[in-house]
Amino acid sequence: MERIAAAAGELFQAAGYMTVTMEQIAAAAQVSKRTLYKYFPAKEAVLAHLLERELARDLAGRGLRFDLNAPFRANVSALLAESAAWCERHPDYLLPYIRYKFGSFEPNAETADKPADSGDMVQMWTLLIAAAQQRGELDATRPAEQLAIYFHYLYFGALMRWITDGRLDLKQEFTTVVSLFVDGACAARRQ
């Protein structure tokens, strides 16, 4: 898998993601197309593997730690600022990646065994939400895992808006996501 992913990454860098074919990836990795498809059913799956591996490596390298006693808004805003910077370094890959992830997102996939710095963002959201629920900061009537999935879709929605509208600021989009999640979409009450 890693040899295939490395070959694909080099091709994506040299020729651009959109022009690279699965046949070219197989040839560069020196594997048969059958072997390639055994590990990666589509070019988007190779891209997802590459980006998620890089994200996990970047998170581990930064030693990202949360203060689970800090407010949810502060923790998640710091993580989203890091995510925005990371996304801004990978704009050409994000649209096909997000399309693939939406099509293959498994909200019931087991993530409990993964550490927070594994690159599994749903797991990170779950940890932050559960801590905020324990402090009484967020409503605890819904499972943290359910709220994390909802938050993840808001996150992807903000990314899609940013990708498709070059005038938007990703950090501001993420700030809106946090406000929407924490405060809801209710109109402000007049006193």
Cα 163 versus chain centre, distance = 14
* pLDDT confidence of residue 54: 83
DSSP characters for 116-164?
Answer: TTSS-HHHHHHHHHHHHHHTTSS--SS-HHHHHHHHHHHHHHHHHHHHH
* pLDDT confidence of residue 143: 97
* pLDDT confidence of residue 111: 45
Per-residue pLDDT of the chain (191 residues; tens, 9 = 90+): 999 999 999 999 999 999 999 999 999 999 999 999 999 999 999 999 998 888 778 767 655 567 888 999 999 998 899 889 888 988 888 888 888 887 776 655 544 444 444 447 888 899 999 999 999 999 999 999 999 999 999 998 999 999 999 899 999 999 999 999 999 887 766 65
* pLDDT confidence of residue 90: 82
* pLDDT confidence of residue 116: 44
* pLDDT confidence of residue 114: 46
CA nearest to 17, candidates 47, 41, 55, 39: 47
The token duo for 97 is 């990646």
188 class by beta-carbon count within 10 Å (0-12 exposed, 13-18 middle, 19+ buried): exposed
Query: 44 near 101, Cβ under 8 Å?
Result: no
Per residue in 158-182, pLDDT (tens digit) is 999 999 998 999 999 999 999 999 9
As a 3-state breakdown, the chain gives helix, strand, coil percent values, each rounded to 5, of 70, 0, 30
177 class by beta-carbon count within 10 Å (0-12 exposed, 13-18 middle, 19+ buried): buried
Q: Which residue, chain included where needed, has tokens 């949810």? A: 72
Sequence-distant (6+) residues with CB within 8 A of 103 are: none
Residue 99 and residue 122: Cα distance in Å, rounded?
17
> Rounded to 5 degrees, what angle do the CA atoms 9, 106, 160 make?
60
* pLDDT confidence of residue 115: 45
